[in-house]
Amino acid sequence: MSRRIPTLTSQLNVYVDGGQKLLGLATVTYPNFEAITETITGAGIMGEMVIISSGQFSAMELVMSFRHLLDDPMNYAVGKAYTFDCRTAIGYEDPTSYDIGQANERFSVRGPVKGINPGTRAPNAAADATISVACRRIEWFVDGAEKLLWDQHNVIYRHNGVDMYAPVRSIVG
C-alpha cells in the first residue's frame, strides 16, 4: 500500500452491542491514551525524570455528542456496560497518483456508561447532549488490521499486533 494523506472523516456510525445504530449522533471523541507516570529523582539523575509505566493508562472515556437525546440514546443506563462500535470512513489522497480513496476505521469501546448529560435547551438550537463511557476494553482497526487492543480487566495491551505487556505478564504470571 502506498502512503496516504488523511483528509477528513467522510461519515461515521455507532452501533451498540452488535446491532442497533445510534441516531442523532453529532460527534464522537475517542479516549486519550495517556500513560500513568511517576517523576523520580535521586543520585545519578540530573534533576527529575518522568518514568512511564508500561501498559498502564489514566482513566479513559469515550464521549458521544448528540443534537438531542430522544429515543435510542435514552435507552442506556448509567452504570451498565455496553459495546459502542464506531465505524468510520476516512478520506485520503495518494500523494503520488493524486487518487482519492476511503480508509475503513473501526474503533470499539466496551464499558459502563459513566454519565448522560441532556444538555441545554434554547429556541431553535441543538441541546449538545452527551453520553460518556468509561473504557474497559478498546479495539482499534484500520482497513481490517488491528492497530490497538487494550483490555483493562484481562491485562492485555497490544499495539500493531505486538503484545506490549508480555514481559510483565511473563514475570508475574
12, 42 contact by CB (below 8 A)? no
Domains contained in the chain, number: 1
Q: How confident is the model at residue 2 (pLDDT cuts 50, 70, 90)?
A: low
Domain range for 70? 5-172
91-107 mean pLDDT: 95
C-alpha to C-alpha distance for 105 and 142, rounded to whole angstroms: 5
131-154 mean pLDDT: 96
Contacts of 130 (CB under 8 A, 6+ apart): 63, 64, 65, 66, 115, 116, 117, 119
13, 87 contact by CB (below 8 A)? yes
76, 68 contact by CB (below 8 A)? no
Contacts of 66 (CB under 8 A, 6+ apart): 24, 25, 26, 73, 119, 127, 129, 130, 131
For residue range 117-129, list pLDDT tens digits in order: 888 888 888 888 8
Q: How confident is the model at residue 132 (pLDDT cuts 50, 70, 90)?
A: very high
For residue range 32-89, list pLDDT tens digits in order: 999 999 999 999 889 999 999 888 999 999 999 988 777 666 778 889 999 999 999 9
Cα 87-31-139 angle, rounded to 5 deg: 50
Pick the more confident residue, 129 or 93.
93
CATH number at residue 138: 2.30.110
For residue range 12-35, list pLDDT tens digits in order: 999 999 887 777 778 999 999 999
